[in-house]
Amino acid sequence: MGQLKTWAVNLGLALSSLVLGIAIGEIGLRLAQIEGLKKLPEPSHAVFSPSFFTQSDPNRGWSNRPGAKGWWQYEGESYIEINSDGLRDQEYAIAKPKNTFRIAILGDSFTLASQVPAQNNYTSVLEKTLGNCSKFKKKNIEVLNFGVDGYGTAQELLTLREKVGKYQPDLVIVSFFIGNDVIDNSRKLENNYYRPFFVYKNGQLEPDFSFRNLPMGYSNRYLITTVDHLPDWLVNHSRILQVAKKAELEYRKNNLVKHSNELSVSTFREPRDDNWKESWQITEDLLTLMQQEVKEKEADFLLMIIADPMQVHKDEATRKFFQVSNKIDDLYYPNQRLKDIGKRHNFPVLDLAPAFQSYAKKNQTCLHGFEKNGTLCGGHWNSEGHNLAAELIADQLCENKTGL
């Protein structure tokens, strides 16, 4: 009994010291006005919105919010206006007017192009440019911009099914960004879970909408802290836990940048593990599905490859350093793989990378990036990049390389 009593006394002293230490810590942090991060109440999916011009979407994760307006000043600068159907574009009649050739373009932030004024976006420039082509001389040209920030091929396929068909396009162009679109298509590689994925079930590719039941705090698997697993009431009443959450989150954010860079570099290599092999297979199957569904609607299909900024950097030495330092055998491996997919499934592929690189090198100019609110030669296309993209697409269509 004496030993048990001693053990109980020691335990009591230890617990008392722990409680006292926590109390002193809590008081000290409050007196010093050191703040951390609370756990906010988890909102329903209905109020999820990544930016001021987007809204929650039960099938696509998020979508452009009809009627949204405001200035974008995070990279480049432009005034964003979303039309009544959720497109960053002018209003178009649902029913296609007579003698009209209508193009629908699906894509991510390169197509939405919040970094440049709407009239400088490649979709708008293309609409004006095609009128100069003899093939379309007697046609009214409409180019509809279905771009949404952050979209991958899965979300673009769902957009094709939900939004595009009613406009009866003659041609559907899918823009594919080398930098992250293969990653976006994999639930096992992508860090943002707050989106739909397509997964294999019994050998068939099926949509996975499990994000609908996902708390927003768990949307990015690499930013979930240890404190996030504790009850809200405990975290929100403990300054120590809030400070610990903030410190761990900063650490995780730094690691996420490193991890994201490593993922992007892996896109340029032959897949080395099952996750990457599956991601490329999902990408191929999604593109094939899109091509088939477009064909069923009696329209034509074109895959357009948007280069990673490093592939088209104006400085050859910079490109070479990136390639060598990251042990990349072929900087254009993903581009060739996508072109091979097009050959296997009989759809045309327009790779913008060669012409972009040639233009940037010849003119010693950056087609990506901005002097204001951005990084030159990195990030998204500037207006010069959009103009070149529109010119290259127009050349492809006017020369009838899509089989139109």
Model confidence at 229, pLDDT cuts 50, 70, 90, reads low
Output the pLDDT for position 191: 83
pLDDT at 402 over 80: no
pLDDT tens-digit series, residues 53-66:
898 899 999 999 99
pLDDT tens-digit series, residues 269-326:
999 899 999 999 999 999 999 999 999 999 999 999 999 999 999 999 999 999 999 9
Confidence (pTM): 0.85
| pLDDT top residue among 45 and 345 | 345
Output the pLDDT for position 46: 43
Which two three-digit tokens encode residue 125? Answer: 């420039």
Any idea which of 194-203, 284-293, 386-395 has the lowest mean pLDDT?
A: 194-203
Model confidence at 12, pLDDT cuts 50, 70, 90, reads low
Tell me the pLDDT of the chain averaged across its residues: 87
Mean pLDDT of 214-239: 67
Mean pLDDT of 195-202: 93
Looking up tokens 């592929």 gives 349
pLDDT at 43 over 50: no
